[in-house]
Structure 1
C-alpha cells in the first residue's frame, strides 16, 4: 500500500511541474499570454527590422520544428538589412540616378549596352529596396541547406557592373551557403578585366576567376564554370545583376526538398539608363512561349497561387540564365547543349529536359534578383550571328527602316561606317532564319515586324510577323536578288528617291542586287537551302 501511495505522490509531483513550467500549457502559458497581451506593440522598423518602442530587436533565429518534423530557421541577416536601410546617396535603395544630358551621351552605352558612366557613380555596395511580398519576411527555411557555387560568366563586362554583382551576392547571402563564386571570363580583351580584376578579387572571400583560351560564347562559358564547381548546387547569374535581400535560402530550400527541381528567382529590372531598381511589369508571372519560340510571361492560374502569391509556382519554361540546380542533377540532364552559340534558346533546351526527365521547373517569388536589360548587345559572338546589313551593289546604299512599326516603309539610306556592329543604325540590321522571313533587329532584339510585299510594283513595307510565309516569304538567289514568290518579283531600289519596291526580276540590273554584310555564312546557306 505504501508503494502505491509513493507512486501516486511522484505522479502528482510530475503533473504539477508540467503545469507550472512547460512552455505551452498551464500557468506558465497563462502568464506568458497575459504578459505579451499587455506588452508594447511590436512594429516593423526600417528595412523590415522589428522594433519595440523604437529599439531594434534581432528576432530569434533558433531553429523551429514544423509539423513535418523538419527544423527550419529565419535566414535573414538583420544587421545587414539595418546597415542597408541606413545608406543614402546616388542610386541607394535602388532609386534612379538623376540623369543630366551629359549622362545620356551615346558613348556611355557603346561598350556595354547600358550607361556605364552612371554605373561608375553608384556604390559597388549599394542598397536596394526590399520589394518582396510581405509574407516573405516571415518565412522559415531548412536549418541545413546545401551550399552552392555561384557561376558568373562575362565577356568585356563593365568594371563597376561586374563588381556590383559580386558584392551584392556576398553581401546578401549567408556565408555558410556560398561554397564559392566563380567568375568565368570568355576571352575578354578589356585591360580592366585582366590584372586589375585579379588583384581586386584576391580581397574577396571565396571568389576565383577562370578564363577561356578562346571566345566560346555564353553557353560553353557557363559549362566551363559548372564543370569546375565544387558546391552541392550550381547557381547561374549574369554579370550585371544585383541580388536582393535573403535571395538565396528560398532557392536552396526547394532543391533540398526535391533535388530534381530547377528554381528561378523573380527577375527584377535595373534600368539601363538610370539604374533604378523595380519589378517587371506584372511582377510574378510564369514563363511561356509562342509558336515562333518567343519567350513571354503569362499570368499565374489562381489554383497555383493558393491564395498566397509569395508561394513557389510551377512554370513551363524559365526566363534564361538566372537559376539554381542540383549540381549532380544538372549533369544527369546532360548540362547545356555545347552547340548553342548565343543566349535566347538555352532556356527551352534545359526546361524541356527537366520536364521529360521527371523534374520540376519553379519560380520562387521570395527570391529576387535585379538584372540590367541592355539597350543593345555591344559585342560580337563567336562565328558571327544571323544579323546583316543589306547593301545594294548598284548604289552602295543600305536598306533601312526608321520606324519599327507595322505599315512603316523600308527605304534606301547611306550605310553607316566605321563604328562597328554596335554602332550600326538599328534600322539597318536585319535577321533571317527558319521562317524564311526577314525581320528588323539583331537576333537577340528582333522586332516582330517583317519585310512584307503585296504585289508587283508595290513598296516594301514592314508588317506584323505572322509566320505563315505568304507575303512574308523570301528567297535569296545566286544572282544576289531577294525574290518574292507570291508577287513573282524582286526587291528593287531607286537611290534618287530612296525608295525600295518590288519589280520584275532582272539579274543584270545592279539596283536589284543585295549583299548581306557581316552575317553568319552557315545561317545564310541554311536560309538559301530552305528557300530553294
Structure 2
C-alpha cells in the first residue's frame, strides 16, 4: 500500500510501535521480516521503494513526482478522466521521515466503508459452465486439422501473408471455448471487490481479420464488464482493405466500447502502443498483441496488485497458440524474466518461496514485452516508452528497467493466462531504416544501465562503437527528474541471481564440436529453431559444428 509520510504519520495512534523490516519479493506480494537499522541501505531518492513494492516516502515527494502527470485526454469518447486508483487500505508499511525505519500504520479511513478490502470471486461461473459444453472445430482449445480437400493454394497464400494458418483461423469460432490451464488454486482465488478500471491497447499491422477479431472478442467477453472501460485498436498503417471500413463496421455493429485509432504512417510496434496509451481514459491499461486469446478470469489477477500499489506493472502467464493447428498449450509454469548479455530474452528460475504459492504474483526483473498491465498514471509518470525506439526490440528492457529503477515493481500473475500465436516466420518485410535493433539496444543501455552497459558492448565489439543512439537527453532527464535508482541497485536487489545464470563476462566454453551418431554418420542439429522445437539429426558439416549447429 502506498501513502505519503505526511498522511501515514498523521494516522498513527499515539501508542504505535516502531518496527524495522526487510521486504522481499516472496510468496506474498508484500512480505517483510525484521532487520536492524544498519542493514537497511540509505535510499538514493526522494521516494524510495523496496523491490517488492513497499513504499519509502519522503514528505511531499509523492506530490512532486506526480505533478502534471495525470494529463489524460480522450479523443475517442467524451468521458471525463477516471479517478486515480485509490491506495489499498491494508495496514501500510511506510518509513519515518529520516528514512531509517519502517513504521506499521493502520489503514486510513475513507468513505467506502471498507469495500476496497472486501474480497470477492470474480469468476463468471455461468459462462464457464456454458463454455465447457461447447463442441466444434478448435473448441476447448484443441487442435483442429484441416480436411484434405481444402484449397491448398489459398491455405498457402494465407500462410505466407500471416506467418500462421489464417485459413484455419477463419474456420474457428471467434469466441471459441478454451481449456483452463491455470493452477487449481486459482479456481478459488479471490480479489478486491473494488478494482481499477481497465483499457486494452492492441496495436496491429496487417493482422489476419478473424485472428484480430478473436483477440478482441476473447478479451472482452472473458473480462468483467464493469472493469473493462474500453478497447483501443491501433492500426499501424495496414494495407489490407478488410482492416479499414469492414473492421469499423463490424466493431460498430457488435461493440459499444471498442475503437480504432489509425496511424497516418507506419510507426512500428513501440510507437503504435504509445498512440493507444495516449488515448486511454481508464485507471489502467493492458497491452496485448493482436493474435491472442484471453483465458478464464484473466483480468482481475492483473488489476489486483495495481489496486494495492499503483506503481506496478503485472504480466500474465503466456500460453502458446500453435501457428498451424491453433491448439492452446502451456508454455511453462512460471519463470522470472531475464536477458543474456547480447540482449536476448531469457528466464531465471522461480525463487523457492514463490514455488510454495503457485497462485500468488511474484516479482520478475524484466518482462517479455508483449503482454502486460500497468497503471495509466504510472506509465505517464515514467514518460511511457522512449519514443526514439524504432519498430520493435529493446522496449521490454527499457520499460522494465524504468519501472524498477524509478520506484515501481513488476510482477507476474500466475492466475492470469493469455494465449499467443508465435508466428512460424515474420511475414513483413524489413522496414528499411537501418540497424534499428542495435540502435534501440544502445539507447536503453546508455540511459539505464550505467557501467553495466560495457558488458553488453563487449559481447559485440566493435559493433556497438559504430551504433549511433540519436538524442537521448529527454530520457536522461526523466531519470534525473524521478530520482531513479542506479542499475547496480537493480542488479543487487532485483536481478540478484542474474550473474549466476548469465555471467557478466563470457566464460570459456566447456566443450565444442558435433554430437555424431557414428553408426549413420548424422549429427544432432537444432537448426536455430525456438526453445520448444524438437532437436533433429542432419548431415554433418565436417566443420566441427561451427556453421549451423546451435547448442547453447
Change (3 A) 1:222 1:98: same
**1:239 paired residue number:** 290
Q: For residues 179 and 238 of structure 1, what CA distance do their matches in structure 2 show?
A: 18
1:109/1:375 contact within 8 Å kept: no
- 1:25-424 aligned at under 5 Å gives the runs 70-100=117-147, 105-202=155-252, 203-280=254-331, 282-305=332-355, 307-380=356-429, 382-384=431-433, 386=435
1:66 positional shift = 9.8
1:205 positional shift = 2.4
Normalized per residue, which structure has more strand? 1
Structure 1 portions without partners, runs of 5+: 1-64, 388-431, 448-457, 468-532
Change (3 A) 1:362 1:66: closer
Change (3 A) 1:188 1:257: same
Structure 2 portions without partners, runs of 5+: 1-88, 92-106, 108-113, 437-461, 467-525, 534-542
Q: For residues 98 and 357 of structure 1, what CA distance do their matches in structure 2 show?
A: 48
1:342 positional shift = 2.7
**2:483 paired residue number:** none
Q: For residues 238 and 229 of structure 2, what CA distance do their matches in structure 1 show?
A: 25
Q: For residues 348 and 545 of structure 2, what CA distance do their matches in structure 1 show?
A: 34
TM-score by length of 2: 0.58
Q: For residues 88 and 215 of structure 1, what CA distance do their matches in structure 2 show?
A: 40
2:527/2:549 contact within 8 Å kept: no
Higher RCO (CA < 8 A, seq sep 6+): 2
1:216/1:382 contact within 8 Å kept: no
Q: For residues 216 and 103 of structure 1, what CA distance do their matches in structure 2 show?
A: 35
2:189/2:359 contact within 8 Å kept: no
1:76 positional shift = 0.5
1:75/1:140 contact within 8 Å kept: yes
1:376 positional shift = 1.1
Of 170-179 and 376-385, the range deviating more from structure 2 = 376-385
Q: For residues 354 and 322 of structure 1, what CA distance do their matches in structure 2 show?
A: 15
Local SS of the residue matching 1:106: helix
1:250/1:367 contact within 8 Å kept: yes
Q: For residues 344 and 270 of structure 2, what CA distance do their matches in structure 1 show?
A: 19
Local SS of the residue matching 1:273: coil
Q: For residues 398 and 423 of structure 2, what CA distance do their matches in structure 1 show?
A: 23
Q: For residues 157 and 325 of structure 1, what CA distance do their matches in structure 2 show?
A: 25
Local SS of the residue matching 2:547: strand
Local SS of the residue matching 1:462: coil
Question: Alpha-carbon deviations, 1:460-484, whole Å to 9, x = none?
Answer: 95267899xxxxxxxxxxxxxxxxx
Q: For residues 129 and 283 of structure 1, what CA distance do their matches in structure 2 show?
A: 15
Q: For residues 103 and 199 of structure 1, what CA distance do their matches in structure 2 show?
A: 28
Instruction: Tell which structure's C-alpha radius of gyration is larger.
Output: 1
1:91/1:275 contact within 8 Å kept: yes
Local SS of the residue matching 2:412: strand
**1:508 paired residue number:** none
Q: For residues 116 and 324 of structure 1, what CA distance do their matches in structure 2 show?
A: 28
Q: For residues 545 and 295 of structure 2, what CA distance do their matches in structure 1 show?
A: 48
1:303 positional shift = 2.2
Local SS of the residue matching 1:199: helix
Q: RMSD between aligned alpha carbons? A: 3.1
